[in-house]
Every structure is written in C-alpha cells, then in structure tokens.
Amino acid sequence: MPIKDQRVYWRPRAYKPNVPYTGDNADYIFKGLNLIPNGTGADFYYRMFRGIETQNQTVADVAMTGTVGIATTGVMTGVGTVFKQQLVPGQWILVGGLIFNVRTIASDTSATVSPAPSVAIPAGTMAYLPQTLVTVDKDLGNLIRGSIVRYPNGNVFAVGYGTVYLNGSALSSSLVASKRLSVAVLNPGTGAYSVYQLGMATPTAPTLTGTGAGTKNMQAGTYSIRLVPRRVATGGYNNPSPKTEVTITANQLVRITFPAMDTTSGQDAWDVYVTTYTSGGIQGPWYLYGTITTAQVSSAGGNVDIEWNDADVTANQQLEFDNDPPPDAQYLASLAGLPVLISCNGRGRSLAGTAQTVVGDATVSGTSSSWTTDLSRGSIIYIDNKQYRVLEVTSATSIEVTPTPLANGSGLTVALADTSPGPTLRPAKAAKNGYNVEGFPARFAVAVDPPEDIIGFVLGGGRLFLMTENRLHVASLSGNPLTPVTIRPFWHAGFRNPQALVFINGFLYGYTTNGPTRSIADGDEGSQENDWAADVANVFANWIPERVRVGYDPVNQAIVYTHSNSEANSGGYATTSVLSYNLRQGAWSTDVLISDNSANQIVTGISTVSGYLYLTCSGGNYRWDAGNQTIGGYAATPFMALGADGSDKTITGMEITAHSESTINANIYVSRANEDIPLADLISGTSSSASGTMQFAVGSSVRTSLLRKLSVTRARLAAARVNLGRTASSGDARIDEMIIRFNTTGATY
C-alpha cells in the first residue's frame, strides 16, 4: 500500500550513454537523438539539432578512370584504372555507395582499402572521388584532396588533385590541382585568372655587347651578367642562367640581348644580376641590378642597354643558386608566413610507357606515356636506370632532359626518383620582400622520424601538426636560415585520413586509430588523453576511424566528430552520424543523424569558414546546425531507482517542461524484480512500454505541461523517454525538465 507520494526532478545535465544500470545516476540523458547542449554553466538544457542548411553549391563527385571490384579482404582490383595517378594513401573513394579509405597502392590496377566490405563489390563497378572542403579566407574551397591558399593580392595557389572550386564555382580559367604547386594569377581589372604550374625554366645565357656612351662612366674591363626568370604577380623567381662575360671600354653601356621568356609558365620579367668592376668580373659575386619587365623588353626577346657603378648594386641582393622549383607535394601551408610544401620526397614509381633516347639529344620521346600527368619541370627520373632531370615537359610523349643521353635506346623503362606523398617538408626560400613562393630549395627538406608518409596537417599555435599512419609530429620554425624548419614527434597515435584533427583554444582534438583523443595542453611531446570521451565511449566504439572527420563549430563552441556511412536509414540511403563536444558546457551532444530518405547523406569534407562550420555532403556544401529541415529526436533518462533502492514503486504520473513543433509523446519504461531491463524498447521508442504512450500539448514556445496520470506498479527501476520534433519554420525545440511522480511501497521481493 502506498506510504508516501514523491517526485523526482530530472534535468538533462549531460549525455552519458555509458552509465551503469544501478539506478544511482539521474540527471543525464542516457539515450537520445538529435539533441545539442545549450545554455551556460550548469544551467543548460538540450535543444533539437537544426539540420544542415544548403549553400546551393554543387561540387559533384568525380568518376575515376575505369571500373573496380573490391573483395572482402579489402583488395581493390581495377580494369582500365590509373590508381597511381588518381589515388594516394589516406584518400577517400566512393564505391557502391560506400566510403572506403585507400591504404596501399600496389599498381595502377591493384590497391587495398579499408574497411573491407562485408559483401564483395563486384567487378565493373564505377568508383568516385568525393570532394573535400578547405577554408580559403572567407570562402568555401573544394577539391578532391590537397590545399587551396589565396594570397592578399588575390592569387590562388593549389596543390593536390582535382578542379578547384570557390563557393561552388570554378575559377574563370579552371585551376586543376596536381602534385606540382600551381597558381591562378588574378587580373584585378577584369577579375579573370591565368593559370600556371610553378617552376619557370632555367634560361639560356644572354648575349652581351659593349655599345654607345653612357652617363655613369663605367670603368673599362670585363663584366659578367646572369638572368633570373621572374613572375611579377607572385614576386617569385627560380634559378639563374649561365653567366656571360662582356669586355667594354670606358663609359660604354652593356647591351643585353634577352632570350624569350618562359611564357608557358607565366614568366613576365627578368631579374638582372651583374658583377662589379672591383670584383674582377667574371667569377662573381653577382648583385641585383634590377627587374626588366615586358614594358621594357618583349617576352619574345630583345635588347636593353644598361649601366651601373659599383655603389649602385653592392648593397643589393646577391645572386643565389638554389631557388629550385617546387617538388611534388600534397599540401601547402603557411608557417608564420613561410610557405611550406608538405608530404614531399616519397617513394618513386615506374611510369607507364617506354622511352627512346638519341645520343647527344636532350629530347626524349615516349610511347604510350603520360608525361604531362606524371612529370613536371625539375622532376628527377631514371631512364634505363640512368638519372636525369626534366627540363621541359613538351607533351605526353616528349620531354627535354639533362644531361643529354650518351647512347641511343628504345623501349626503355622510365621511373620517377621520388614523388608525393612522402615524409618531408620543403620550406620556401626567404627573400628581401618576404618569401619566394616559387623557390623551394632541396637543401631545406626535413623529414618526420621515422620517415612515414604525411597524410594531413593542422596549423595551430605557430606550429604545423603533421599526421601519419602511426604518429603525430610537430614542425616549428628553427630560427636557422640554413634549416628553417625542425620536426619532432608529438603523439604516438596515428591517423587514417587528413581531416581527423583540429587545434582549438590551445588544445588538439583528434580521432586517431585508437579513437577520440585530445591534448592535455598544447605543450609537450606525448601530452594526450583519451578519458575525456569516456562518457560516450560505447558510441565511438562502433565508429570506423577511416570514416571519421573532425571540425570546429564556433557558434556552439563545439568539436564536431562526423562518422560517414554510419548506417542505412529506412529508405535504404547512407547516413552520417555525429557527436559534438561542446566546450562551453563541457558536455557531449546526443547522437545526431544526418539523414534523408530520398538521397545519401555522406559527409566527405569539414571546415570552419567565417565563424561557421560547413560540411561537404554528397556533392554539395552545407552549413552545420542551421537548416530548415523537419527533424525528430528524443531524450531518455537513465533507469533510475528514484531514490528508493531495492523497493517497488508505483509510477503515478509525469510532467515535462519542453517545446516541440510536433506532438510530444512520452513513455515510462520499468524493470521489475527479476526482469530484464528493457533497453531495446527504450532506444526504439516502442509503444509497448509499461505505461502506454502519454501525449503532451504543443505550445508556441516552452511550457510546463499538465500532469499526465498513469499507474505502473512494482517498478524497481524506471526510465522516461520524451519525443520532440521541429519543422522548417520552428524555433528551437528543447527539453528542460521532466518530473516523475511515484509512490513507494514497502515491498522488496
């Protein structure tokens, strides 16, 4: 017989799906869907996820060459494919509506992916390269993989793979990223772009003659000049020409006959370097005389007369010989303003086709080759196991090399000495006007140790955090101009994809092969912790690291973890599961599901732009937690003893304080002595609960409900579940409080 009328006040203080079934825990959401913590301090509540808002930017997945099949071992076999050109480890591909992560690439027709499919994907299936998302100032940038960087003058640099999109649109002249750094040079007058691959040709030596009479009274003697190719738009330059000497009489001018500019690579100026009279002339050093543009000499070549005194040039920059063109890379970053190429100098590979050489001829011809795709100016290659450097890529079947071959040959094998991805960074060269974004000296290369391929990076705290399969490394400026960047290990935990790490407020948050991880602070090697995510460990336990991407939501001050291809919805379409850790409240969201019963919802990119978090999802860009979708969700309490452990209770009623745009349905689920706890019913929301379904009226805003009476007897443990919903026009649906009324009996059987 009831002996006391009691109430339990439940408020959603946090999401803790791991709490035990002891009945001791109360003010937590035990199970839930599509709820985000809101408010401040301990006084917060959970509101409905607002959905994802389309930006009306279509960035379609790109079909791979050929077709594939994937065995249950994870081996992917291609027909007519070019895996070595189109794929790198850590990259995502879509096959049969499923996301896979590329692990290894054995050949153009064989690779391994993970996770291995539970059912083999048959041969002849189309494979697609999904778009990722990067921040480009205030714009959303998309490409298949890599980096997009826009400098203040409007020039856009890209490295990686795929057409570059800004806010869903390609540039006026399409910029297609490759492993060799490229630039789209902006014409500020028209807004149009001109696209070039960086690395201007080393010029031939100029022709010099003494001529006329000058005004500076140059001393009679022998002088030397070298030319350096320059691009005005970037301020970049590469390596100098051979020297040429000229002997003049007193007060003569020096006439320079310039060769043609490398206009194919975008050269539009020359830096002229000269020797002084006192230097003895022909042996250098060479000092910068000045820059000659196309306003002074035709890009096709021509004559310019110059003169100088020693004092005019000796304070200027001296000529340097290591402004090497950029190597193959996966990413471009800016470390305290220093341009750095990332993931360089990796393992070389054999190239398709064969080569033919002619003794003494720099031109090498190819058969069935793809040299415009495989090679760039400056590439180091092996032809018949002999090393050459590529001077020019004329076509898919013709290159110029140095040194010139010493023998005739045909049907010769060709291989790249190194390419990307790789274990090294290559910083750019310092210059008086900042940095030479086109010169990346080979001597500046520095590798992670052990030398694993770098698959991604994050910039934070003036450092670069470099992700590999087994570790996280940190790179910082050394202060030494001879070795500008140093690298040391940071975490002994690896990563499976390039967007699995963020740096926020001095902390690193990531998803490693061991699950969610954050740094204790930004400080020391090995400073990482995993137990901060213990409350949601059973959710993350079902996530596949290869499919997890991490971003930062400034609006909610939340670290957002997305798990693509998490499950199929009732319509049979793929979904993405999300958990966010809200820094303001120190609490997790419930499970959030990005789902559509008419289309796949697979998140393939994530980035923060202008104070908002955006996602690339199934070929479009969306803003996170800002949509106008109709969404349902629920909050369920833990199974509670209601303050009367070991005693039977009769649940007599329930009240709620909440807001919903759809009818609020609630259920009470109980466990009696010697009965299984009905967890599955609680999660699924079946109407076969011990109470039947209670309905609460919907208001235009938050309201406290009337009491809904019921009578559920012999309850040892009890849990309540409340369904909420929002529509396209609604404000925030939310849950603030539940009150469960009950009576306690003396029964303890």
Q: Model confidence over 14-24: pLDDT tens digits? A: 999 998 888 88
Exposed/middle/buried for residue 607 (C-beta within 10 Å: 0-12, 13-18, 19+): buried
C-alpha to C-alpha distances, 737 to 26, 392, 709, 722, nearest whole angstrom: 12, 71, 17, 10
Give me the pLDDT at residue 401, please.
95
Record the pTM.
0.93
Helix/strand/coil for 680: helix
Give me the pLDDT at residue 40, please.
78
Give me the pLDDT at residue 381, please.
94
Choose between 282 and 204: higher pLDDT. Answer: 204
Q: Model confidence over 504-561: pLDDT tens digits? A: 998 999 999 999 999 876 545 556 677 889 999 999 999 999 999 999 999 999 999 9
Longest dimension (CA), the chain: 123
Average pLDDT over residues 120-135: 98
Answer for the pair 632, 665: CB distance below 8 angstroms, yes or no. no
Give me the pLDDT at residue 686, please.
84
Give me the pLDDT at residue 746, please.
65
Give me the pLDDT at residue 328, please.
95
Dist. CA 93–CA 108, nearest whole Å: 15
Q: Which residue has the tokens 């979904």?
A: 575
Give me the pLDDT at residue 521, please.
61
pLDDT band at 647 (very low <50, low <70, confident <90, very high): confident
pLDDT at 602 over 90: yes
pLDDT at 1 over 60: no
pLDDT band at 121 (very low <50, low <70, confident <90, very high): very high
Dihedral sign from CA coordinates of 669, 674, 679, 681:
negative
Give me the pLDDT at residue 279, please.
67
**Pair type for strands 35-40 and 165-166:** unpaired
Give me the pLDDT at residue 280, please.
62
**Residue 431 carries which side chain, given as an amino acid letter?**
A
Structure tokens, 632: 């349902």
CA angle 514, 519, 524 (to 5 degrees): 115
Chain mean pLDDT for the chain: 92
State percent of the chain over pLDDT 90.
Answer: 80
Neighbour-count burial for 461-492, b at 16+ CB within 10 Å, e otherwise: eebbbbbbeebbbbbebeeeeeebbebebbbe
pLDDT band at 2 (very low <50, low <70, confident <90, very high): very low
